[in-house]
Structure 1
């Protein structure tokens, strides 16, 4: 008799007693208690009800006059007006938490501590000014407001797939002599992590300094409880960034979504690829998994090294006193000479600068011929929509590739609500028909490119710690363009205006409702 796969008691029991289920249950109980307490109190005392109504009005006025993104304002004002008592209480409770202020102040302090180590070479800026005043202005902004200088003498290798990056990672990890720094949003047990883990443990025994930082939410259901303790016992200095706990706090929104690997200070990786088997297509999820990454060799890797330290030192009390000891010049010189320009950078949710989005818009606004984009989540805010539509209306060939098979159905529904307007203004939307595209790439005019972790949605642009590498005039830009052209011709289908206009009305209504709350999802 064929076994009924729909009912497997062991799996159900394991799920019920899993760490993830327990944490979510505690979180929901906490929210339910808060709602019950506030509503009951207001119901018993009339003056309390009117007090909360007054608080609601104050909260709405505060939100309207704040410097937040308009979409974020609307996403908060709606629940406050729909649930006047609890909505206002929830906003105040989440907005004015000491944990958020503490982490924000600590982040600012750590970044200030690293500024003396991130100085801009005048000779690089002079060379850049001679090639492009526009890119020089962008570099000025990124240096002053982002905190990261631009470099020459850096070779960049582009990887079209996670498998390619993984093979290069293994090769370079085996060469490590002094230190390995790894920072990832997701680490999941499987072939990819087992291979890397074995190298890290072996290198630690050989005296190589190993530091590993992973996000508490991204790995919450993938790794065993207190897995960091196990790794430390193996000689791998491991920390968990912002461990997920069953407390209603805004700080839980600020995840470490970055992907950084630094080896001996001279070789670095970044891009969209996490440490899990689906990223290298050894495990199928949502069809073929398309992801990209870059490997840097040379002077620009120093930015990645300092990015790692900035978040490493927020997590725990341990300090790293001598940053200069981690410069490649301390122990090895590669002798790389390259006159192109590379700017690795990080974007923090704890400051007032949205450097990732502004860099993206700079590329869009200054494009002359084309802008090609890949993103798994297309939920642009008003500013990004304006930039994309204006570029297309100005005659720039704007193309965006999104997944053909989504990983989150509701994100796809929200994204589809933007297709019709974008296409009507001349933007071309493509779906990756082979499966799920997780790559976050920008390419413009055969001269500029960005490969990193930054999606085109509110969470990535405003709430997460992100990173990327901006490249100008690099040889690898031709490889990135070849990858785009291959996708357009062989791996994607173009979305038409007619199919957007013919979407069922119920689907369009659900998209519209979900879109209102997109900044809070």
Structure 2
């Protein structure tokens, strides 16, 4: 009974109730205005038409988002128009965008591109040089490095084991930024080390996304951490207010140790990611560890997000402008750690993936938990396959979200008919986000092939070119493939009719979900 009362009167329940109340106010306003407008000779249709014309002529908007909004306005007319205006007039989103832009510019001066690296890269590949120039000049000031190493972890438990070793070595600072943190074997083990490191004088900062307060952590968890000496923040807390910026979640997974060791990948700090708790069968994930100067970019990304809610900027140089001379002898290909923001007008995550697809010669092998893509990505996948590139996609066989799986299935037949091979991981759930191509190019990070990752979330990843660890990423891909079942057209036809219909309907509004 007490548990039931806590759920009924808990903060999450009250937040949902208050948000629903605000939606109710919008619906009520729509109904009131509808009757007034209907009495004025078709003004309702005129308003809808004007909104349609405005949306079609907006520059830089993705056609998939335009189509979803047009459908909403055409079907619901004034209500759809009101919702669109409400979304476009979000002041909080604009304020956050300006703040993040300023922080990116501040860190840009500390992430200077080494021209000798670019000159050397140009001798090896003009295409990759052009790509590197985009990543540094346009995408957010992310340099390419050639004095850093990468270690690949094919499972979350492998990453966890190495995390423990590296955390124990920390001497100056530890930065953690994760989408999900949940108490259990993984997080409790890490927390014990963090508490000990604080006592040793190491600066520890922890930041997690506000959605954790709904199902994973108590709302006051930041205060618990502060009492332990750990600086802690909840990014973009869930509040009982209708606001589009609450759609912009921090989906990144970053660990930085002393500015010289960094981790990223799909692995959050929760027991299912290391298969200590089974929720959707075997959890297939991956991660990488970067050592060297390239870690500067991860440090900068963390500090940008940490300082979004700060009034006064801190001095970043003491965490970024470090001595990396110990790594000067390393020559193991090229590395570009990078981030993606939903507020800078550049769809960096998608551009990176599309660039790989358009420049691949032999193969592009992909692992992703979701497949909810726009026309640009769909065409890139199909075109790569049609010009003879071996394109394979590994998806989960046991999904974590039935609606997302239903939408993903709507793309299967079209991709298969274009020559793309689709596989499902039969032991369970694939959470890895991997592109590997031609034995010389790879990306491992947090960016899914869905609208939320590609357009709405803060994300991060690492791009690798001619790095020795790429061959291990491909070996892991092929080993995973052996545990998958290939999906063919007949399999698509036999799909449950309810799932088929649900997927088709949801695909229409997927960009707004």
Same fold, TM-score > 0.5, yes or no? yes
Between 232-241 and 402-411, the greater mean CA deviation after superposition: 232-241
Q: Is the 8 Å Cα contact of residues 299 and 319 (structure 2) preserved in structure 1?
A: no
**Structure 1 position 334, deviation (Å):** 4.8
Q: Identify if the C-alpha distance between structure 1 residues 325 and 431 changes in structure 2 by more than 3 Å, giving closer, same or farther.
A: closer
Q: In the alignment, is residue 513 of structure 1 matched against residue 513 of structure 2? A: no
SS of equivalent residue, structure 1 residue 143? helix
- Structure 1 distance, partners of 2:389, 2:227, is 55
Between 217-226 and 206-215, the greater mean CA deviation after superposition: 217-226
- Counting only pairs closer than 5 Å after superposition, residues 405-420 of structure 1 correspond to structure 2 as 405-420=398-413
Q: Is the 8 Å Cα contact of residues 266 and 334 (structure 1) preserved in structure 2?
A: no
Q: Is the 8 Å Cα contact of residues 396 and 428 (structure 2) preserved in structure 1?
A: yes
**Structure 1 position 54, deviation (Å):** 3.7
- 1:77 maps to 70
- 2:105 maps to 112
- Structure 2 distance, partners of 1:175, 1:375, is 33
- Counting only pairs closer than 5 Å after superposition, residues 330-369 of structure 1 correspond to structure 2 as 333-334=326-327, 337-369=330-362
SS of equivalent residue, structure 2 residue 78? helix
**Structure 1 position 157, deviation (Å):** 0.3
The unaligned stretches of length 5 or more in structure 1 are 1-8
The unaligned stretches of length 5 or more in structure 2 are none
Q: Is the 8 Å Cα contact of residues 347 and 454 (structure 2) preserved in structure 1?
A: yes
**Structure 1 position 51, deviation (Å):** 5.3
- 1:503 maps to 495
- Structure 2 distance, partners of 1:284, 1:86, is 43
One of 448, 457, 463 as aligned partner of 2:456: 463
Q: Is the 8 Å Cα contact of residues 155 and 336 (structure 1) preserved in structure 2?
A: no
**Structure 1 position 194, deviation (Å):** 0.9
One of 189, 193, 203 as aligned partner of 1:199: 193
- Structure 2 distance, partners of 1:122, 1:327, is 17
Q: Identify if the C-alpha distance between structure 1 residues 367 and 47 changes in structure 2 by more than 3 Å, giving closer, same or farther.
A: same
Deviations 1:472-517 (A, max 9, x none): 111111111110111112x111111111133344432221111001
Backbone CA RMSD of aligned residues: 1.7
**Structure 1 position 209, deviation (Å):** 0.9
One of 410, 418, 424 as aligned partner of 1:431: 424
- Counting only pairs closer than 5 Å after superposition, residues 295-314 of structure 1 correspond to structure 2 as 295-314=289-308
Q: Is the 8 Å Cα contact of residues 182 and 269 (structure 2) preserved in structure 1?
A: yes
**Structure 1 position 223, deviation (Å):** 0.7
One of 477, 482, 490 as aligned partner of 1:484: 477
Deviations 1:149-203 (A, max 9, x none): 0001111000000001111111111110000011111111111111111111221
- Structure 2 distance, partners of 1:324, 1:123, is 25
One of 317, 320, 323 as aligned partner of 1:323: 317
Q: Name the TM-score, length of structure 1 as normaliser.
A: 0.95
Q: Is the 8 Å Cα contact of residues 110 and 321 (structure 2) preserved in structure 1?
A: no
- 1:100 maps to 93
- Structure 2 distance, partners of 1:183, 1:89, is 36
- Structure 2 distance, partners of 1:459, 1:259, is 16
- Counting only pairs closer than 5 Å after superposition, residues 21-32 of structure 1 correspond to structure 2 as 21-32=13-24
- Counting only pairs closer than 5 Å after superposition, residues 50-69 of structure 1 correspond to structure 2 as 52-66=44-58, 67-69=60-62
One of 150, 158, 161 as aligned partner of 1:164: 158
- 1:6 maps to none
- 1:5 maps to none
- Structure 1 distance, partners of 2:42, 2:137, is 47
Q: In the alignment, is residue 154 of structure 1 matched against residue 148 of structure 2? A: yes
- 2:25 maps to 33
Q: In the alignment, is residue 228 of structure 1 matched against residue 198 of structure 2? A: no
- Counting only pairs closer than 5 Å after superposition, residues 108-147 of structure 1 correspond to structure 2 as 108-146=101-139, 147=141
Q: Is the 8 Å Cα contact of residues 269 and 293 (structure 1) preserved in structure 2?
A: yes
- Structure 1 distance, partners of 2:244, 2:45, is 23
One of 176, 185, 189 as aligned partner of 1:182: 176
Q: Is the 8 Å Cα contact of residues 265 and 288 (structure 2) preserved in structure 1?
A: yes
Deviations 1:124-152 (A, max 9, x none): 11111111111111111111111100001
Q: Is the 8 Å Cα contact of residues 303 and 345 (structure 1) preserved in structure 2?
A: yes
SS of equivalent residue, structure 1 residue 220? helix
- Structure 2 distance, partners of 1:232, 1:43, is 54
Q: Identify if the C-alpha distance between structure 1 residues 345 and 325 changes in structure 2 by more than 3 Å, giving closer, same or farther.
A: closer
Q: Identify if the C-alpha distance between structure 1 residues 230 and 411 changes in structure 2 by more than 3 Å, giving closer, same or farther.
A: same
**Structure 1 position 329, deviation (Å):** 1.0
Between 37-46 and 372-381, the greater mean CA deviation after superposition: 37-46
Q: Name the TM-score, length of structure 2 as normaliser.
A: 0.96
Q: Identify if the C-alpha distance between structure 1 residues 303 and 324 changes in structure 2 by more than 3 Å, giving closer, same or farther.
A: same
Q: Identify if the C-alpha distance between structure 1 residues 164 and 80 changes in structure 2 by more than 3 Å, giving closer, same or farther.
A: same
- Structure 2 distance, partners of 1:142, 1:493, is 36
**Structure 1 position 101, deviation (Å):** 0.9
- Structure 2 distance, partners of 1:325, 1:465, is 22
Between 193-202 and 381-390, the greater mean CA deviation after superposition: 193-202
- Counting only pairs closer than 5 Å after superposition, residues 275-314 of structure 1 correspond to structure 2 as 275-314=269-308
**Structure 1 position 315, deviation (Å):** 2.3
Deviations 1:360-405 (A, max 9, x none): 0111111111000000001121001111101111111100000010
Aligned residue pairs: how many? 511
SS of equivalent residue, structure 1 residue 129? helix
Between 198-207 and 55-64, the greater mean CA deviation after superposition: 55-64
Q: In the alignment, is residue 15 of structure 1 matched against residue 2 of structure 2? A: no
One of 462, 468, 488 as aligned partner of 1:475: 468
Deviations 1:309-336 (A, max 9, x none): 1111112325221424444418x84555
**Structure 1 position 53, deviation (Å):** 4.3
- 1:239 maps to 233
Q: Is the 8 Å Cα contact of residues 402 and 429 (structure 1) preserved in structure 2?
A: yes
